[in-house]
């Protein structure tokens, strides 16, 4: 097969092709290694690992030849550079982790390699996953492979898993893994025209993932199709005794849930997601999505999630608070950057001033403030109480419906630099994604249409905790109805 036809395969198709020996894992890895090079202008990867990819592919080929194939044997995957990978540079997009090579492997990546997957490299991201544009990385901004029709300005891929999203969209990775703390898988998936899945909190272990906000961080897959997401999620999931919040629940065969049958499924349409200033095209796509599901036999139900508007301010207290605590470990003593000082405090202060970018500093300072004596109750405890009410909204809604359909983001991709002046304007990107992080419920974003200027737009399906199966089943029906076949302006390996 030619490189361009290899790169056009979905993960499910590549598994079949490898099993049938239509091509080897080495051929597939080599095609992707070349694609990673071709896609360099996007800055989607911080550290490509082409040699490791070939070595892992060779091992997969040997197992395939012996008839001992593993579920993901030979599947090339990109890893957000927030996952610790043994002996491979792990930066979290920050200067402060300069030169850090973990002596251990994260649980999720370890599971992928144990399942036979091939590592293509580590992808770029907003520094410490704090952002919605992938422009705050120490390693420079990521470019979206899509451009607006008739406008050549480079666009952001969304964030924080923007490198993973751009790589999958540009065919510089067959699939990728990201993390989602307030929308960091789903919003970039929406901006880049791919599928992004944030599982239930506790489904995928956080062990070995650089912590941003521990009660909100969710590892998850980013893929070209819903089926691919189902396959990858299965390999990533499972109880991990090393993460005390990892759920001791069985891992279903998510792919088996894709029956295409959603007759009688009750789909909630929350009225509070019609926010002021949302573009008409997103509202129209949402209405279209409701019609697609109705046509497939689902029953749309108008519902209310009254606390929706408070999710963002709640998030911007809780996430910075947890971040200020988690990022206390970057002190110039045990790993990464160190700026010498005359006293230990001066060394800490100079190291952290030099090592953290503007957005990280902002969040650490906000977090320090809301946790400080005298303000803890007014901000942090208040936010935790509102979080209870937000989670309760979903519990109440799921007494009435089986899943919920909403837009993924309130806009399409914007130009690099367009929103960086005002932090709150940037935060508003996550207005539709943040509630599910606070409630811990599973969500998948599916590319559903194009904006007037030719950019992808996503719709998301939210489900009950640990019911990824219903979410995926409904998402696959949505995907089939939307028939999103558009390609970005830039893809490695040319067209089909």
Partner 1 sequence: MALDKATVAHIAGLARIRLSEAELEPLTDELSHILTWVEQLNEVDTSGVTPMASVAAARLPMREDEVTDGACREEILGNAPRTARGFFVVPKVIE
- Omega before 261 within 30 of 0, i.e. cis: no
Q: How far is the CB of 222 from partner 1 (least distance, A)?
A: 22
CB nearer to partner 1: pick between 174 and 305? 305
Minimum distance of partner 1 from residue 142's CB (angstroms): 24
Shortest distance, position 390 Cβ to partner 1, whole Å: 9
Question: Which residue is catalytic, options 94, 134, 161, 184?
Answer: 184
Runs of H (alpha helix) within 39-161: 50-66, 107-114
Per annotation, catalytic residue among 24, 80, 122, 190: 80
Compare residues 278 and 347 and give the one whose CB is closer to partner 1.
347
- CA atoms of 149 and 215, how far apart (whole Å): 40
> How far apart are CB 365 and partner 1 at their closest, in Å?
5
- The residue (of 286 and 348) whose beta carbon lies closer to partner 1 is 348
**Helix (H) or strand (E) segment spanning residue 325:** helix 311-326
Angle, vertex CA 73, rays to CA 69 and CA 74, nearest 5: 135
**Residue 325 or 489 with smaller CB distance to partner 1:** 325
The H-or-E segment that residue 266 falls in is strand 266-270
Active site residue 309: no
Written as one string, the DSSP assignment of 434-448 is HHHHHHT--EEEEEE
- Tell me how far, at minimum, the Cβ of 34 lies from partner 1, in Å: 32
Q: Angle, to 10 degrees, between the axis of helix 311-326 and the axis of helix 358-371?
A: 100
H-assigned helices in 378-467: 382-400, 423-427, 434-439
- Cα separation, 79 vs 81, whole angstroms: 6
Which residue, 152 or 343, is less far from partner 1 as judged by CB? 343
The DSSP output letter for 79 is E
- Residues of the shown chain interacting with partner 1 in the complex, contacts defined by CB under 8 A: 99-104, 201-202, 215, 241, 244-245, 247-248, 307, 309-310, 313-314, 316-317, 324, 331-338, 340-350, 352-353, 356, 361-362, 364-366, 368-369, 372, 379, 381-389, 391, 423-424, 439-440, 465
What gap in Å lies between CA 79 and CA 109, rounded to an integer? 8
**Which position among 24, 106, 132, 160 bears the catalytic label?**
160
Q: How far apart are CA 74 and CA 61, in angstroms?
A: 7
Identify the burial level of 263 via C-beta atoms within 10 angstroms of its C-beta, where 0-12 means exposed, 13-18 middle and 19 or more buried: exposed
In this complex, which beta carbon is closest to partner 1, that of residue 95 or of residue 338? 338
Q: How far is CA 133 from CA 55, 157, 386, 401, 418, in A?
A: 33, 6, 27, 33, 10
The two tokens of residue 290 are 């409701």
The nearest distance, CB 275 to partner 1, in angstroms, is: 14
Nearer to partner 1, 2 or 388 (CB): 388
How far apart are CB 319 and partner 1 at their closest, in Å?
A: 11
Q: 184 catalytic, yes or no? A: yes
Q: Is 24 a catalytic residue?
A: no
Q: Which two tokens stand for residue 145?
A: 């492979």
Q: Which residues are catalytic?
A: 80, 160, 184
């Amino acid at each position: 097969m030619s490189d361009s036809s290899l790169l056009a395969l979905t993960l499910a198709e590549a598994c079949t092709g490898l099993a049938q020996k239509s091509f080897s894992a080495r051929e597939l890895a080599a095609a992707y290694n070349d694609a990673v090079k071709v896609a360099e202008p996007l800055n989607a990867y911080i550290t490509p690992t082409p040699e490791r990819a070939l070595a892992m592919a060779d091992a997969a080929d040997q197992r395939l030849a012996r008839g001992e194939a593993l579920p993901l044997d030979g599947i090339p995957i990109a890893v957000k550079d927030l996952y610790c990978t043994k002996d491979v540079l792990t930066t979290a997009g920050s200067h402060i982790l300069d030169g850090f090579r973990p002596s251990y492997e994260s649980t999720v990546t370890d599971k992928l390699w144990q399942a036979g997957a091939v590592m293509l490299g580590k992808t770029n991201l907003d520094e410490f996953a704090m952002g919605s544009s992938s422009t705050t990385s120490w390693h420079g901004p990521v470019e979206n492979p899509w451009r607006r029709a008739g406008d050549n300005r480079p666009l952001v891929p969304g964030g924080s898993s923007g490198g993973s999203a751009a790589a999958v969209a540009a065919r510089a990775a067959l699939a990728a893994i990201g993390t989602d703390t307030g929308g960091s898988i789903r919003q970039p998936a929406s901006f880049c025209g791919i599928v992004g899945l944030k599982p239930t909190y506790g489904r995928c272990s956080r062990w070995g993932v650089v912590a941003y906000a521990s009660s909100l961080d969710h590892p998850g897959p980013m893929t070209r199709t819903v089926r691919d997401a189902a396959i990858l999620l299965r390999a990533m999931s499972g109880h991990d005794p090393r993460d005390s919040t990892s759920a001791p629940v069985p891992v279903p065969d998510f792919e088996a849930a894709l029956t295409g049958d959603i007759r009688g499924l009750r789909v909630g349409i929350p009225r509070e997601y019609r926010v002021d200033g949302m573009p008409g095209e997103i509202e129209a796509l949402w209405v279209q999505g409701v019609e697609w599901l109705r046509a497939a036999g689902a029953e749309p139900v108008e519902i209310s999630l009254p606390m929706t508007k408070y999710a963002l301010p709640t998030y911007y207290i809780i996430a910075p608070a947890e971040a200020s605590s988690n990022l206390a470990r970057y002190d110039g003593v045990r790993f990464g950057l160190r700026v010498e000082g005359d006293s230990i405090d001066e060394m800490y202060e100079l190291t952290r001033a030099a090592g953290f970018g503007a957005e990280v500093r902002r969040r650490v300072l906000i977090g320090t403030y809301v946790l400080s004596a005298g303000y803890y109750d007014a901000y942090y405890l208040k936010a935790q109480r509102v979080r209870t009410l937000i989670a309760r909204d979903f519990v109440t809604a799921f007494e009435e419906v089986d899943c919920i359909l909403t837009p993924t983001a309130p806009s399409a991709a914007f130009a690099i630099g367009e929103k960086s002046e005002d932090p709150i304007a940037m935060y508003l990107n996550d207005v539709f994604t943040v509630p599910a992080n606070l409630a811990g419920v599973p969500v998948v974003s599916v590319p559903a249409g194009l904006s007037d200027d030719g950019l992808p737009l996503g719709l998301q399906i939210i489900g009950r905790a640990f019911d990824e199966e219903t979410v995926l089943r409904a998402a696959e029906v949505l995907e089939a109805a939307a028939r999103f076949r558009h390609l970005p302006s830039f893809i490695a390996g040319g067209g089909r």
